[in-house]
Each structure stands twice: as C-alpha cells, then as structure tokens.
C-alpha cells in the first residue's frame, strides 16, 4: 500500500494577467470571496482532507499570502482592548489553520515548473495539488475524494468534470475508459487541444493527487503549450507507467481566475453567507426589476 497523502502543494505563482490591473500588486489568491481571500478556502479544503503540511509556491508581489497566515500581535491586542475578542480569536485561528510553507518560483515558467519547485519539500511520497484559483463547493472535500481513490487503487488521480464543447480548448482533454463508479482510467491527455485533438469533454479542474515520480518527468520535460512547462504533459507521460485515474468528483468548481468566474463565485458565496444572503437577495431583486 502506498504512503498516506500528508502534504499538499498550492501553486500560486502565476501572474494572473486575466485580472489586471487588480493583480498588478495584489495576488489573485488574495482577492476576497465575500470576507475571506480565495487562498483561505483552498487551505481549508486541504486541511479538511487531512493534509498536515502545505507548500504555497509563490512569486514576486505575493508576500501578502505569507503575512496572511502569520500572527498579527499589534492588531490582535488592539481588537482585544476594544472588546472585539471574537474577531481577534478568528484571526488567530486563520493563522493556525495549517502548517504553511513557502517557496519562490523565480520565473513563471508554467504550472509544471511550479510543481517541480516542490520536489524537495515533498520527497518520496504521494501528494495533493490544489490550484490557487479554483475553489470547490462539495460535501466531501474534493481533495479527500481524490485521496480515497489513490488509497484504493494507487497511481495518480486527477479531478475531472465534463465542460462545454466550446470551452474544452481552454482546458486539457482526456482520453478515458470507464473503470468503476465515478472513476476512469486515463489513457492520455493533451493541454489546450485544437478542435481536431479533442478526445473527450473531460477536463482536469484544479485538483490532483500525484506520485513523486512526476518530479523526474518534469525535470526533463521540454516546454509545451505557450512555451511553458505543462503539468498536463508530465501527467501524460506517467499514464503508461504508474497509471493515472480520473475522478469525476462530486461538487462544484468555481474558477476565480477570470472576471466572470470571479463575480460568479462572489455572488454565489454571498447568497449562501448568513450575513449577506438576505441583503444580497433584496438588492438583486431591486436591480433586476430595473433591467
């Protein structure tokens, strides 16, 4: 039986060009989804899936993420002096959520390269990957669903869903064969397929459990689509060795990395938030009456 998945990597070193100018100085992972930055939802999912150590791959202009998971003694004591101990306690809990580590990807050479930067932190064990701009809403954490599949069948596991035919070219396309339940065996995959290269509408949506052999593959991988080292190409290379499963996970994925996805996420989360829900419903009703 393989080792337990205890570590996760959150690649968050991308430039976030689709959300400029906001992301010129604010990492997109720090943009608020109601009252929490998106990185917090990702860290919470990892913790809920039993992950003990998290490595965030960061880059220049991303230091606010490190500050976010640190203590803020001056702010906390001021809040306590003002009788706002609950807020101070909440800040403490956020900083204590997980054991978070950081490494810099010195150049944004692609997702595959960002993962390769984690090789010394991970060592020789399977690990989870949670993309910094994909938030999941699910009963069982999506990362936990992937870990359960890895535990049962071994190999690597990618979280997939079918996307619209006109969208698949923005993702990767997987050639899959059914296995059992919501699991499929992956024969191959291709990043940003042209229409004639599409093998199915199944695409990976931001969650992975990978075996450490991926690091040797990534080390020698030539640049792929867009001149970047593509994680998809690395995973394609291990389909025939230790094997890759696709898990059609139960849950909904929110892509916060583009303006429409970001707005959708904020509105949906605010509609479900106890504090904002009633107010937002009334506001939207009033607004839609004007359209």
Which residues of the chain form contacts with ligand UTP (CB under 6 A)?
A: 11-18, 57, 105, 108-111, 113-114, 131-133, 257
- Shorter beta-carbon distance to ligand UTP: residue 108 or 154: 108
3-state secondary structure the chain: CCCCCCEEEEECCCCCHHHCCHHHCCCHHHCEECCEEHHHHHHHHHHHCCCCEEEEEECCCCHHHHHHCCCCHHHHHHHHHCCCHHHHHHHHHHHCCCEEEEEECCCCCCHHHHHHCCHHHHCCCCEEEECCCEEEECCCCHHHHHHHHHHHHCCEEEEEEECCCCCHHHCEEEEEEEEECCEEEEEEEEECCCHHHCCCCEEEEEEEEECCHHHHHHHCCCCCHHHCCCHHHHHHHHCCCCCEEEEECCCEEEECCCHHHHHHHHHHHHHHCCCCHHHHHHHHHHHHHHC
Closer to ligand UTP by Cβ: residue 76 or 232: 232
- State in angstroms the smallest separation of the CB of 116 from ligand UTP: 10
Cβ proximity to ligand UTP, 22 vs 179, nearer residue: 22
Minimum CB distance to ligand UTP, residue 44 (Å): 16
Nearer to ligand UTP, 133 or 233 (CB): 133
* Closest residue by beta carbon to ligand UTP: 14
CB of residue 134 vs ligand UTP: minimum separation in angstroms?
Answer: 8
- Report, in Å, the least distance between residue 17 CB and ligand UTP: 3
Q: Nearest approach, Cβ of 217 to ligand UTP (angstroms)?
A: 17
Closer to ligand UTP at the Cβ: 109 or 187?
A: 109
């Amino acid at each position: 039986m393989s080792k337990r998945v205890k570590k996760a990597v959150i690649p968050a070193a991308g430039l976030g060009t689709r959300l400029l100018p906001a992301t010129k100085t604010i990492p997109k992972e720090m943009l608020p989804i109601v009252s929490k930055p998106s990185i917090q939802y990702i860290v919470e999912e990892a913790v809920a899936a039993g992950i003990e150590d998290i490595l965030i791959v960061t880059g220049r202009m991303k230091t606010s993420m490190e500050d976010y998971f640190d203590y803020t003694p001056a702010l906390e004591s001021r809040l306590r002096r003002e009788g706002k101990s609950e807020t101070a306690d909440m800040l403490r809990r956020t900083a204590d959520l997980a054991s978070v580590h950081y490494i810099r990807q010195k150049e944004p050479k692609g997702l595959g390269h960002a993962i390769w930067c984690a090789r010394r932190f991970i060592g020789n064990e399977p690990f989870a990957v949670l993309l910094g701009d994909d938030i999941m809403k699910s009963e069982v954490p999506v990362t936990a669903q992937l870990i359960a599949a890895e535990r049962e069948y071994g190999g690597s596991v990618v979280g997939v869903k079918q996307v619209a035919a006109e969208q698949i070219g923005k993702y990767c396309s997987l050639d899959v064969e059914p296995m059992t339940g919501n699991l499929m065996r992956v024969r191959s995959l291709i990043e940003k397929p042209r229409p004639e290269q599409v093998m199915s509408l199944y695409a990976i949506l931001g969650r992975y459990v990978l075996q450490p052999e991926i690091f040797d593959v990534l080390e020698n991988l030539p640049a792929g689509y867009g001149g970047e080292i593509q994680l998809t190409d690395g995973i394609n290379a291990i389909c025939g060795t230790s094997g890759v499963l696709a898990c059609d996970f139960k849950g909904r994925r929110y892509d916060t990395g583009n303006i429409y996805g970001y707005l959708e996420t904020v509105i949906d989360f605010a509609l479900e938030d106890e504090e904002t829900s009633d107010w937002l419903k009334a506001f939207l009703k009033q607004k839609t009456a004007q359209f």
